[in-house]
Amino acid sequence: MFHGANILAVDMAKISFIGAGSVVFSKNLICDILQNKELENSVICLMDIDPARLKVAEILARKVVAQLGVPARVEATLDLRKACTGARYVITMIQVGGYKPATVTDFEIPKKYGLRQTIADTLGVGGVFRALRTMPELVKVGNALREFGSPDPLFLNYSNPMAMNMMAIDRVCGVPSVGLCHSVQGTSHQLAGYAGLPHKDISYKVAGINHVAFFLEFKYRGQDAYPLLFQALENPQVFAADRVRFEMMRRLGYFVTESSEHFSEYCPWFIHHGEKMVRDFGIPLDEYLRRCESIIATWKDTEKKMLADSRVSIGKSLEYGSQIIYSMESGVPVVVYGNVPNHGLITNLPSRCSVEVPCLVDAQGIQPTVIGELPPQLAAMCRTNIAVQELAVEAFLTGKREHIYHAVMMDPHTSSQLPLDAIWKMCDELIEAHQRDGFLPQFAPVRRNTGRGAASLERVMVSIEDAGSPADNAAADLVLVVENTTGSRFKGDLKLELDATAFRLGRPPKVACQVAAGGVLRIPFRVRRLRPGVPLAVGAGCASPLVFSKHFLQPVREIVQPGKDSVKVIWSGNTVAEGAIVREKSGLKLALRIHDTDIQINRDAFWDGSAIELFFAPTARQAGAPLQLVVLPDRKNPRITALKDPRAIPGAKISVRADKGGYDTEIFIPWKAVGAPAGQPFLMELQVRVNALGDAHGRVAAIWQGSAKPQQESGNFAVILP
């Protein structure tokens, strides 16, 4: 907290407007403030980053002071620190990035993906990216106010997206703050009109989150006036004036505070459902772009007129900002609706989210009202929005790009229109576009279509592969594979690790490695068994945190005698397939029962349906990968093909007999196709893919390697005797 010469006299409250280039809005607030006698001698400090707009704001502020005849003092500065120094109240009204390029980008890129928006300043992809641009600047203001402002200052924010911005200010700045909006008081006037009541005779209680707060009570002279609103709901002329909000009142039982065009993009029930729905509910797509274009087109004339007129219009707006400052300075209490941290105020919404509730304001400051529980359907509606808000704030706080994707994918409107891949690509394009314009520099590139930083996934991947080990279990021929996926050369020592009492390495256990960026190093070695029947487990350790090492496991190979040993394929305790291996003079036959209750064949991608895979390799050292055969159990046209050769295997045969529980199949493979030398043992593995296993499991793939207990490591083939 700053103390000393910059603190103004008690009777001269310094009120700083950050973003005063929002000329009309700041002029209206100045009029509101200076029409209170207790605030006539305030210091009005105007700050903006645009010198031309700031100059217009200063001229208008001085005209207001002269016209009201008050002793207020007007200052103007481009320096945020100077604006905050000694300030008792700071009011922010900023739009970071402006209409062009930022807002146009927020609309046009999503539109390429088929995602339409109306306002895009509160939620959805537009709201998330507006928040990511705005939160850093608001936090700068809050930190400057904390360091250089007067004792016990107050931060009043008008910038959208309100809830996300206020959550960021609360988490970072450590200054009293309140978010202000005119949707509650504005909607109260609208409801009075819909119900045919004078506004002075109504009272209400509202709670929720900004733009998704609900009129929990709407009364006329103490009587519940909601019946009048439900009567208005059935009046076509009244309904047509506010279709989305009246429809939501019909469904939820309560009227929401923000306009129909806003609310249509906070939920998944309107824009997503086609042009007819958009027309029927009068949803103005791209409405914010139209408004901005209109303001820009007429601004020069408006500015010229305001500067030319010797007098300005002095009115009294519905904004809460002047009421708060007046009550804190005078001690006269007032009730306003403010956006504040949820410290037990609404008990069925998350702690520390930003909630909009009635607040008592007096000389003691802002004192929010405890609401308790919202009706459960209203709390559920709010939580769909809060999930997006929390993730966007988390992205800002941590600089983790993945939370941007998470926020957008949780958005009700976006998730109703786009699949995940499109959401990821859209966010990538938005981030890159905003970064070209100088925003969001903290979000580093990620691996495409993931939520993880590219650098965080770079590793030196160490694994061990079977190079075609002999079948006698006495030795294993292996290859140490070192793959460098990082952007720089890797140099380090790897230590081979295994049980030295059961195995002996054919090379020193310490291996010095140098691998270029993106390179792969392969080092063959042999392991001999010192004791029979011991499964081989070998790994390669390294002290470097960049190294990810996967251990190799090879059980003692199963010896299978065709005609004597049965085949049983198990997945999670369920039998996927069972049968037998039969040795015939001209080849190998498998007789299997497959428990597939929904046989589906995908000839273009066999793994995406019902299929059987057979792997064969000689027991001696082999060159390259094992032979892989694919069996497609099509009931009308079953086929056996080699994976790398789509032609049918000469002499191979298959039969399929299906019923509701699965199918029986006999598969015959000639010895020549198996690739085993005549009269020699060979290695075999069987993988069964079923489209549905019984009535409880969808697509399943399970492996047999000579045991009823499947092994998940590659290369653990069963040894088939000739």
Which amino acids are annotated catalytic?
Answer: 182
Torsion of CA 450, 455, 456, 460, to 10 degrees: 110
Which amino acid, 162?
Answer: M
For tokens 């959550």, name the residue.
167
Rounded Cα–Cα distance for residues 606 and 643 (Å): 10
Query: How many H helices and E strands in the chain?
Result: 19, 34
Which amino acid, 48?
Answer: D
Measure Cα distances from 455 to 302, 440, 446, 550 in Å. 51, 18, 8, 20
Q: Are 384 and 349 in contact (CB under 8 A)?
A: no
Measure Cα distances from 171 to 91, 168, 215, 394 in Å. 19, 5, 28, 10
Torsion of CA 28, 30, 35, 38, to 10 degrees: 150
Measure Cα distances from 561 to 613, 679, 718 in Å. 20, 13, 10
Rounded Cα–Cα distance for residues 668 and 647 (Å): 16
Q: Which of 542, 562, 521 shows the shortest CA–CA distance to 681?
A: 562
Q: Are 719 and 681 in contact (CB under 8 A)?
A: yes
Torsions phi, psi for 302 (to 5 deg) = -60, -45
Secondary structure letter of residue 268 according to DSSP: S
**Radius of gyration over alpha carbons of the chain, in Å?**
36
Q: Please count the other Cβ atoms lying within 10 Å of the Cβ belonging to residue 670.
A: 15
For tokens 């006037």, name the residue.
189
Alpha helices in 569-691 (DSSP H): 671-674
Alpha helices in 309-419 (DSSP H): 321-330, 376-398, 402-410, 412-417
SS3 content of the chain, % helix, strand, coil (to 5): 35, 30, 40
Rounded Cα–Cα distance for residues 90 and 141 (Å): 8
